[in-house]
Amino acid sequence: MIPTQTLSRFIHSKRRLYPDSTGELSDLLVSISVGMKYISQMVATAGFKGLHGYTGKTNSHGEETRMLDEEADEVLVELLSSSRHFGLLVSEERDSVIETEAANGEGKYVLAFDPLDGSSNIGSNIPTGTIFCILRKKDLSKPASHDDFLQPGSRIVAAGYSVYGAKTSFVYSTGTGVHGFTLDPSLGEFVLTDENIRIPRNGSIYSVNEGNTCYWSERVRAFVDKLKEPTAAGEAPYSGRYVGSLVADFDRTLRKGGIFLYPTDSRRPSGRLRLLYECMPLAFIAEQAGGLAINGPHDVLSLIPGDIHERSAFIAGSEQEVRVYRKLVHGIE
């Protein structure tokens, strides 16, 4: 049986639900998926092309950038600035907003992305990925500006991520559910493998870097300790799983349920993950799949970034666990 629902066929089939849609968003998603195919290839062959190393530069977060971070960034900037749909781009790897080939005023959207997430894992064959979110410009009659990125996640029109692992997968949502695709290398096409992914209401896995335990607040520590005890009803404790690539830890949480957490701590009072191109897009996916994503007290999608590289705490996953976290740690029902 030939795989009928390729990404572009699926996206265009969804367009029929919105007769007045211009097809622009569909075109964007396909362009982004082409970038992901390129990066998937780069990651798979980096080992023998000497691309595992560092560039010797540090990005705006003071982190040493890997050659693959830079390569993935360049692929996406080149592909997406020429698509003329985006007035401006933001990349984790660039200090400021990126001009595109869209002429003045052209391009209804702006795009923010993490070109290669989990790059500390490069070279050890642990999954990495790309994360993106698309926002509509605040004022379509004006050229895009830095301010168009400083909108709440509730204004996202599309978001998604890829995972470069044993298979290359692509998960996205445009606000009507979450859909998962798998790259068929023989076709060079992303093929639909999971339509309308729903996150289980609760799970049995927690995912956190326990190396930070001594920096957590008492209440965060109490929450994680509780997950590691058998319940009053005699149910087994949760299992711990932590890959250290957000896309891989999040994707497993989305499909199996449970909770991923990267809370603030005494070393990182603003959090470790980036709000605009890590937390917001994955929060959009989590909520579209029936889960929750908070920074502690607030829904991530209600937060407005103060700057394009702002960091945030990120606790996401099954509704039940995230609610228990918010109640225990912040006293909010």
Give the HSE-up count for residue 244: Cα atoms under 13 Å, Cβ half-sphere.
10
76 is a contact residue toward ligand AHG (CB under 6 A): no
Strand extents, DSSP E, 241-319: 259-262, 273-274, 292-294, 311-312, 314-317
**Binding pattern for the stretch 27-46 against ligand AHG, x by CB under 6 A and - elsewhere:** --------------------
Number of residues that bind ligand AHG (CB under 6 A): 11
Strands 205-207 and 239-240: parallel
117 is a contact residue toward ligand AHG (CB under 6 A): yes
Residue 264 falls in which region: left (phi positive, over 0), alpha (psi -120 to 50) or beta: beta
In whole angstroms, what is the distance from residue 149 CA to residue 306 CA?
9
117 is a contact residue toward Mn ion (CB under 5 A): yes
**Binding pattern for the stretch 243-262 against ligand AHG, x by CB under 6 A and - elsewhere:** -xxx----------------
Give the HSE-up count for residue 245: Cα atoms under 13 Å, Cβ half-sphere.
26
Among Mn ion, ligand AHG, none, what binds residue 244 when CB lies within 5 to 8 Å by partner kind? ligand AHG
127 is a contact residue toward ligand AHG (CB under 6 A): no
70 is a contact residue toward ligand AHG (CB under 6 A): no
Strands 86-91 and 109-117: parallel
Interface with ligand AHG in residues 195-214 (CB under 6 A): 209
Nearer to Mn ion, 117 or 148 (CB): 117
In whole angstroms, what is the distance from residue 46 CA to residue 297 CA?
41
Interface with Mn ion in residues 84-113 (CB under 5 A): 92
Residues that bind ligand AHG (CB under 6 A): 92, 114, 117-120, 209, 244-246, 272
Residues that bind Mn ion (CB under 5 A): 92, 114, 116-117
